[in-house]
Structure 1
């Protein structure tokens, strides 16, 4: 496939390291043509990219993907994160996903974090990466420096 050669050429031309990039693939995409997806992901990993499964847990065969596909990270869908404070089942599901992913040496990202309580719970469960409006809404390029400074202050002060 020429796309891999194109990607490699762009990385070399721009002086970028593939290990700085993460390709995200949704579970629904993985279902469509699994054999092709496995080959594609393996080739991307050979180039040095990391692979993340986005919206983890919303499809029927999630656990099969952890075993079958060459992935480095799972991104827990926001639908699970929304209810972790008030719903015991959601809390247990998220805890189990984080625990299982860690046992498989996968990085875990929680999507849709909107409150300090959600962030605190996920930090206690050792979720490595948190994303969501609690930290920032989408910002323009001009707003980025002040947003980064604000987030750095948030990190320095304990929750």
Structure 2
């Protein structure tokens, strides 16, 4: 798998029937290693190791309903009260982060109401803070570390 724009993390791998799998510490099982899964696992490690989010507040690949359609989000980080703090959309490295990707995460967030958004293909990362009052998002340099209430440094 290609190098991504994240710190170096150690992962557990398993080869079964000529398919390489990576261990997901959140789902507690091996997942077939696709380019998108490679990005997703780096994001999970980034949240745990760099941003210090508790493992118990992170959820990976769950179904949500958007306009009556079954969709699946990549990663969410919950607040301790159960509301969603961060919604993350992961794409494979070869997928360009376009307006369509931001539209996708915005549609998901109409259901989830996350305070922060992250969009990444592993090479390029975009962080946003929602402004629900004005129905827009503001780009940030980074996500808050666990326990920070707000971001001071804006792009």
Superposition TM-score, scaled by structure 2 size: 0.28
Structure with the greater alpha carbon radius of gyration = 1
If each structure's strand is expressed as a fraction of its own residues, which one has the higher value? 2
More helix by share: 1
TM-score by length of 1: 0.28
Compare relative contact order (CA 8 Å, sep 6+) and give the higher one, 1 or 2: 2
